[in-house]
Amino acid sequence: MRRERKAKIVATLGPASSDRNTIQALFEAGADVFRFNFSHGSHADHKARHDIVRAIEQDLGRPIAILADLQGPKLRIGQFAGGSVALDAGAEFTLDRDPAPGDARRVCLPHPELFEAARAGQSLLLDDGRVRLDVLASDDTTIRTRVVNAGVLSDRKGVNVPDAVLPIPALTAKDRRDLDFALELGVDWIALSFVQRPEDVLEAQALVKGRAGVLSKLEKPAALDRLEEIIAASDAVMVARGDLGVELPPERVPGVQKRIVRLCRKHGKPVVVATQMLESMVSAPVPTRAEASDVANAIYEGADAVMLSAESASGQYPVQAVSIMNRIICEVERDPLYPALIEAQREAPLPNKGDAISAALRDVTKIIGVVATVAYTTSGHSSLRTARERPLAPIVSITPNRDVARRLALAWGVHSTVSADVHSVDEMVAAACRTALREGFVKPGDQIAIAAGTPFGQPGTTNLLRLAEIWPQ
């Protein structure tokens, strides 16, 4: 089940993709990571999907990653007496703490933190930016605004505040319950929504305690002010263009995406580009040409993975969406321009043994044309540093830890395998050759490059580079 591409695909599971046949079809079409969206569905729903994914993994013999996406502190207005109101441009509209149903002049805002943060001159964006309000004045109980964009506003629509760092926790009470449940299930990644500061990530890391990777979703402009700190604190990052596109002017989003992808490459952290990539495939069997270009551009930029949301969770063509995304990625990676662009984005290795070995591994693949690189890893670090170098040859990752193998399914170019630990260089070379041959990456007579660390089995000891030739088994 080796992929003929290096970038990965994340597919969200939902009502359209909850049965065994569909989930297996999604994996066979190209999904490497399955996202469980904890904004929807019950714990029982997620457990049923988790059990199916793990059964498929067992049957097919391939590590599959599961990402639990926490809802985060989603801010919403209250309800209206008539269910909705029409707001006119230029009219005054008040947000207050009165729980009574609203009308065309006011509505409840059940979030005390917003009253603390709101200041005259700021903007509030409601219903994904369809209605914009400019703040005129605020105090502890009311926020008086003027309507900038006219529109219809209905019950419980979301509120975005692009101009402020909100004094709200990254993890709500619901998130903490969902986090405990997801970790009990044994998911591989925890996606943290609405990250604003590195402290948000560190709080989640302290709760997760290494039981899963922490992926920070960047959807608040405030996060961009401390971007490198957030990336450094995270195990992976997502460019979540939904809310980010609401709070930023649309013309800024492409540049911000490129900046995030570049910095993640610098720090060697997997980065996922997400939201509306093939949105039209929710109801159509083929994407628009603009959507195909959007996926392709993310791959040309060097993203580790691209993600499907509603397309695979609730759309009419979930398997087709994964299949087309797979075809787009393969086409980009066959383009002679692709390796040149990836090479141009390369960052200098850090001055340590692990990065020195990873850089040498990359150079060896170019100079003598090795067919595959093999990275032995206990924690996943060696494989991630090898992936940061973007070698021309595929990366076969060997680890004795199944959890690590699953987590690495998100990383660019990494083909994860699980194997018993080795105890000598000769054992290491034999196991590397055997694994690369069994997984279909080499044939007798090919050469491979192997990176490992001695003493074997100790994390963070990458210090060995070995070349080997494949002999008939």
> Where does 79-206 show beta strands of DSSP type E?
84-87, 92-96, 106-108, 123-126, 131-138, 142-147, 151-154, 159-160, 189-192
- Residue 260 has a pLDDT of 98
Give the amino acid at 429: V
Render pLDDT for 357-392 as a digit per residue (tens, 0 to 9): 999 989 998 899 899 999 999 999 999 999 999 998
pTM more than 0.75: yes
Tokens coding 90? 């230029």
Chosen CATH of 353-469 out of 3.90.1640.10, 3.40.50.300, 3.40.50.970, 3.40.1380.20? 3.40.1380.20
pLDDT in tens, the chain (473 residues): 789 999 999 999 999 999 999 999 999 999 999 999 999 999 999 999 999 999 999 999 999 999 999 999 888 999 999 999 999 999 999 999 999 999 999 999 999 889 988 999 999 999 988 999 999 999 999 999 999 988 999 999 999 888 788 888 889 999 999 999 999 999 999 999 999 999 999 999 999 999 999 999 999 899 999 999 999 999 999 999 988 888 888 899 999 999 999 999 999 999 999 999 999 999 999 999 999 999 999 999 999 999 999 999 999 999 999 999 999 999 999 999 999 999 999 988 889 888 999 999 899 988 998 999 999 999 999 999 999 999 989 999 999 999 999 999 999 999 999 998 888 889 999 999 999 999 999 999 999 999 988 777 777 678 889 999 998 86
With H, G, I as helix, E, B as strand and everything else as coil, classify residue 94. strand
With H, G, I as helix, E, B as strand and everything else as coil, classify residue 71. coil
- Residue 166 has a pLDDT of 83
- Residue 19 has a pLDDT of 97
Residues with catalytic function? 35, 76, 217, 275
CA pair distance 329, 349, nearest whole angstrom = 27
Q: In the CATH scheme, what architecture does the domain 84-160 have?
A: Beta Barrel (2.40)
CA pair distance 98, 141, nearest whole angstrom = 8
Closest CA to 459 of 388, 384, 396: 384
Kindly list the domain boundaries of the chain, sorted by start residue. 8-73+169-341, 84-160, 353-469
- Residue 257 has a pLDDT of 97
CA pair distance 50, 20, nearest whole angstrom = 11
- Residue 74 has a pLDDT of 84
Mean pLDDT of all residues belonging to the chain? 94
Q: Which CATH class is domain 8-73+169-341?
A: alpha beta
Render pLDDT for 279-315 as a digit per residue (tens, 0 to 9): 999 999 999 999 999 999 999 999 999 999 999 999 9
User: Is residue 359 within 8 Å of 349, Cβ to Cβ?
Assistant: yes
- Residue 423 has a pLDDT of 83
